[in-house]
Chain A
Amino acid sequence: MKMLERFFHDIKKYWNYAVYASKSELKGEIANSHLGWMWWFLDPLLFMLVYTFIAQVIFRKSEQYFPIYVFIGLQCWNFFSKTVKGSVKIVRANKGIIAKVYLPKVILIITKIMINGFKMFVSFLVVVIMMVIYRVPVDWHLLFLVPLFIGLVVLTFGISTILMHFGVYVEDLANIVAVVLQLCFYMTGIFYSIEKRVPAPYNMVLLRGNPIAYLVYEIRNSILYEITPDMLICVLWIVAGILLCILGINLVYKSENNYVKSI
């Protein structure tokens, strides 16, 4: 409990820094490219075209509103995987900072989540535009996005903090995480429907057992198909996510002292 108190105190104290650091990182990213911020839209749009092509032309499988379907999945997945992948090496990447000044290491993750969260938010503007073009009807089901995205953020934060800790000590963890993430990508149903394409009992196992697959599935249901999500599973995953966060925060605060000595 004391760790959590410290965590919230640190968040308050370093909030301004985290916001400013995220802004600078985003600004820096676009400063040197010709198309600048356009890439935040172009990147997911182009990947959407790639996966739509693969699914529709090569595998001849499709869903209703397929391009938007792929786009939403891709955005949620990118947020999760980029944050997790970045966290493994985040301490070493910020060596210049943490060797010279005390910074709670969880702030590094928070900054990362802000950056990737902002990109996800921006690209959802494209979803809105696409939905107008495809004339997708929407209703109050959009409200379910609030708990679903809370689940996504909490899980991402929890997993990232734990991986940040082990990433300091295990040098080749990044390679393994990259492979596992690739596997998860295919098991999350970004460009196909797990529910319809995976044979029966496994599809439900996968949808309920893989939190990202579940969240992506329900986010699509809420936005595109006006289907009410299974809130019990959502709540369960949020609780699991919070437990992971507590575990990760404790782990990091207990040993962050030694990080700078180990890198």
Chain B
Amino acid sequence: MEERKEHTEQAVDYAIEIEDLKIRYKTLNKMSIRKSLTSFRKAKRETFEAVKGISFKVEMGQIVGLVGRNGSGKSTTLRAIAGIFSPDEGKIDLHGHTVSLLSIGVGFNKKLSGRENIFLSGLLLGFTEKQIKEKEEEIIAFSELEKFIDKPVSTYSSGMHSKLAFSITAVLESEIMLIDEVLSVGDAKFKKKSYKKMKSLIGGHNRTVVIVSHNMNTIESLCDTVIWLHDGQIKMQGPTKDVLEKYNEFMS
């Protein structure tokens, strides 16, 4: 028995391993010269710990949901996994997988055409020009912008803007996808389409996904396991159904 257990542990490929992750925000560390001249005592630095030592592992191809109240540290955790800021303590190991936070319209230059912004955004997300070129047509087709794609983004309606932004991040896929409550953009038809696209993206095997959402239907229909964060700590972790049941009980 002992031997078999060891064997199965080795066979599992983890995409994300998080160990004792702690992230702190320092409040009040902005100063102005007037303030530092007029007050002789040093501005007090309050530290606020948003994530208080959480550990979890995500297997390759797994879809994990993060739930919890506002301010429980979900988005902070997600941003830490995306590398936007590194942990104050603890470790995040992605085993060399590419990761992207699915966020809308990163680095857009509104004076340029939609087509040029596809490249700008794509390069920023870490793709090469060649990779973007290969996906260019697919992005344009998915965004439904047609001839508007060569018009400056500043002339777009807000719906068109989000459609383009969503298409870029959805079509240019990375191995680990992090999604922070962005599943609803555009008109009803596009919403449905983008939800479907998300589902098919997520469904593709070998894609590891972490989703933050307050929409329980989204979590329930997409996730394999759920992690429930409460005040920066893991309150519960397990199969979607079990955790959501307890979570809904707690929230109501």
User: Which A residues have a C-beta under 8 Å from some C-beta of B?
Assistant: 16-17, 20-21, 24-25, 27-29, 31-32, 96-103, 169-173, 176, 257-258, 260-262
Contacts and interface: CB of A to CB of B under 8 A. Distances in A.
Nearest to A24: B109
Interface in B110-167: 110-112, 116, 119-120, 123-125, 128-129, 152
A102 B83 CA distance: 6
A155 to B, nearest CB: 25
Contacts, number: 83
B85 A260 contact: yes
A16 B106 contact: no
Interface stretch (B5-13, B26-34, B59-67, B218-226): B26-34
A16 B32 contact: no
A173 B34 CA distance: 11
A170 B152 CA distance: 35
Given A101-B124, A170-B32, A25 B26 contact: no
A169 B33 CA distance: 10
Contact of A101 (B25, B33, B86, B101): B101
A97 B106 contact: yes
B72 interface: no
17 contacts: A20-B120, A21-B124, A24-B109, A24-B116, A24-B120, A28-B111, A97-B107, A101-B84, A101-B101, A101-B103, A101-B107, A170-B32, A171-B30, A171-B32, A172-B33, A176-B33, A257-B86
A24 B124 CA distance: 13
A21 B111 CA distance: 12
**Which 10 residue pairs across A and B have the least CB separation, nearest first?**
A28-B111, A102-B83, A100-B103, A17-B123, A24-B109, A257-B85, A97-B107, A171-B32, A31-B111, A100-B106
Given A17-B124, A169-B29, 19 more contacts: A20-B123, A21-B107, A29-B111, A31-B112, A98-B84, A99-B84, A101-B103, A102-B82, A169-B30, A171-B31, A171-B32, A172-B34, A173-B33, A257-B86, A258-B26, A258-B85, A261-B85, A262-B29, A262-B30
B30 A97 contact: no
A17 B26 CA distance: 31
Contacts of B103: 100-101
B213 interface: no
